[in-house]
Chains A and B, each alone.
Chain A
Amino acid sequence: MKILVIEDDRQTAQYLAQGLRQQGHVVEVAENGRDGLFLAAGEKYDIMIIDRMLPGLDGLAMVKTLRSAGVNTPILLLTTLGGVADRVEGLEAGSDDYLVKPFAFAELLARVNALARRPAIVGEDTTLRVADLEMDLLRRKVQRAGTNIELTPLEFKLLEQLMRRAPRVVTRTMLLEQVWGFHFDPKTSVVETHMSRLRGKIDKGFACELIHTARGFGYVLRAPDARC
């Protein structure tokens, strides 16, 4: 993918560019808002990662400018401001996701991947399918290989997130934000506990596992490979 990083802190910019290049992406870096806007408006990118506080041009203003100019490239805002109001402001300005500094690189990568292939909202399906797992969103029913599986509301929402993003990784933070809908910071293993129960219901008794742990920072749901 071709990614534009607009970040004034040289060290952070380098860290991002290097990490993304290692993943095989083409990365261009702009160190201030003006250069960034020039690049963003002129070239075609798959994703833009924009720091919220930029010299020359504020990141928020920049997102608004780009959106009003008809640039629809997915935008991930980076910020040190983690308050709910700040998040809302960022998303309302037209960005697609919002990541609070400091963050783990894996988290950023998961979000970049999620953004890149975010499906169009139009014509949303009411049934999600991954391999032999089927979720009926209207009747709130889940079946695997034709067998009904009873899930709690929380487990249902967790599975829905995983299925919507399959086969991409969903991080623990993304799950907390999207399933619980509150910005809170549990000190107990909330996500892990519910995921382990979900796995017990989805994968237990089946030959192939669908839910996998992603290197300790998230989860992924994917169809079993040939070996299984």
Chain B
Amino acid sequence: MHVASSLIFRLTNLYAILFAVSVLILFALVWFVTSRSMTAQIMANVQREAISLADEYRATGAAAAAAVVERRLERGGLAYYLLQRRDGAWIAGNIAPVSPVLGPLDLQVRLQSRARAAGDQTPADLRNAIGYGVLLSDGTFVLAGEDVGRLEAARKAILTAFSVGGGVSVILAIVGGLALSAGFLRRVESVNRTARQIMAGQLHSRVAVRDNGDELDRLAANLNAMLDRIQALMESLKQVSNDIAHDLRTPLARLRQILEAAKLSATTVEEFRCSTDAAISETDSLLKTFSALLRIAQIESGARRAGFTSVDLSELFELVASTFAPVAEDQGHRLNSEIEAGITISGDPDLLFQLATNLVENAIRHTPNGTDIEVRLKREGDEIVATVLDNGQGIAEGERGRVFHRFYRLEASRTTPGSGLGLALVAAVADLHGARVNLFDHRPGLIVEVRFPASTLTAVDPAKIAFQSQR
């Protein structure tokens, strides 16, 4: 993995940059505000000093003012004073005479009296200061100043504090970023590991779930659910292939026998026609089986749920009843219906019609003559229940689960034509609609009940379908 492309690197970088920028902004803010307020304070001081000195001069004269200056200077501190005459001659203070400037000004001060007394003047004695000048009516110039050393010291302290603090926080950001993203990415890597294991053929491995309900955990849980579903579908596919391999051999063998017999023994055109007719009908039933299998597989994939519309179940069952009542009658049965009006669900109309058709046709085809068949549709509380009852020979309790398997046929019905896919299709269609299919004993006979949930408009739990299609 290239370092720069790693998510750890990028996340950590991002953290560090964010921290550095925020420290920088904070620093600029503190620097600016402190400088401004300190400058304003110094400015106010020197202005007050200069004005009070000027007042002193006006009130008591030059000598007294000079004495005040000397007194002030004696107190020490980084204050500067200058009292000079109209001609520029120095009267008092610790600064050399300057050309008079009124109001606030920046000064470069050469220390006057003490430096002179010491007798040496070096550039180091040049000090930066802020001053305030007042010109009196007789031309005397009064200047008060204050050294900005205090301001510079404060700025220096701020700079030091922020460079140390900034450095520390960037380091913290890098460490924190590394720790946080490493923790995050370790979990991503665990998903990757699982994916690699599955690709390598370990289809049963699953992503570790921490059960703390965070986003990564939900991702892991969803991935696992997806894997379960895929595995269930694959297993069902495997089972279908096995079923096909086993159960389609019989009709294919029969087809081969027909053709072989025709080749060996048919002599007249009529006999050949007979054989080809038989072969065609055998092929047709094979093709029908294939399309039924495909249909079941397609239903189980859940893809048809996208095409759900509002279906009037009552109307649909009425049509089924009126379609099959004469068929049942022709075969010596009686078909009655009891259908509640106005029952509507969300579903696939063609599949629901096929479901009802399969149930009714099963009752017609696999029962002895003179059987009473009843089709019912009604609401039961929140649920919608469709029932097909007969008083035929029924299904033994032990076999009731197995009749939903593909190609499973009861011993008694082996001789009637059929593919053994009818109830498998019913189960698949019911699952698609979130409905349950139950078989009960009618003593004698069979009750097939399809129970649609209260609201088939709500999404169906895919895990349930996955489970049921494994049957």
Contacts and interface: CB of A to CB of B under 8 A. Distances in A.
Interface of A: 82-85, 102, 152-154, 180, 182-190, 193-194, 197
Contacts of A84: 307, 350
A83 B297 CA distance: 12
Contact of A184 (B322, B330, B354, B417): B354
B297 to A, nearest CB: 12
A182 B350 contact: yes
Contacts of A194: 323, 326
B287 A154 contact: no
A197 B323 contact: no
B125 interface: no
A190 B324 contact: yes
Contacts of A102: 287
Given A84-B307, A154-B322, A188-B324, A182 B361 contact: no
B365 to A, nearest CB: 6
A187 B353 contact: no
A187 B425 CA distance: 14
B291 interface: yes
Given A83-B298, A102-B287, 6 more contacts: A82-B291, A152-B322, A154-B323, A182-B349, A184-B354, A193-B330
A187 B327 contact: no
Contact residues on B (Cβ < 8 Å of other chain), bracket: 20 to 34
29 contacts: A82-B291, A84-B307, A84-B350, A85-B307, A102-B287, A153-B322, A154-B322, A154-B323, A180-B319, A180-B323, A180-B353, A182-B349, A182-B354, A183-B350, A184-B353, A185-B288, A185-B292, A186-B361, A187-B361, A187-B418, A187-B422, A188-B324, A188-B364, A189-B327, A189-B330, A190-B323, A190-B324, A190-B327, A194-B323
Contacts of B330: 189, 193
Contacts of B292: 185
Interface string B314-344: 0000010011101100110000000000000
A114 to B, nearest CB: 22
The 9 closest A-B pairs by CB, nearest first: A182-B353, A184-B354, A193-B327, A183-B350, A193-B326, A188-B327, A188-B361, A184-B353, A182-B350
A102 B326 CA distance: 30
A216 B357 CA distance: 23
A97 to B, nearest CB: 18
B180 to A, nearest CB: 48
Contacts of A184: 350, 353-354, 357
Contacts of B365: 187-188
Nearest to A197: B326
Interface string B114-156: 0000000000000000000000000000000000000000000
Contacts of A188: 324, 327, 331, 361, 364-365
B55 to A, nearest CB: 101
Contacts of B422: 187
Interface string B260-294: 00000000000000000000000000011001100
B410 to A, nearest CB: 16
Most chain B beta carbons < 10 A, residue from A83, A184, A197: A184
B106 to A, nearest CB: 84
A190 B327 CA distance: 6
Contacts of A193: 326-327, 330
A185 to B, nearest CB: 7
Contact of B354 (A82, A185, A189, A197): A185
A84 B298 CA distance: 12
Contacts of B326: 193-194, 197
Nearest to B298: A83
Contacts of B418: 187
A185 B361 CA distance: 11
Interface in B377-422: 417-418, 422
Contacts of B350: 84, 182-184
B318 to A, nearest CB: 10
A50 to B, nearest CB: 22
Contacts of B327: 188-190, 193
Among B287, B292, B323, B422, residue most surrounded by chain A Cβ atoms (within 10 Å): B323
A154 B325 CA distance: 12
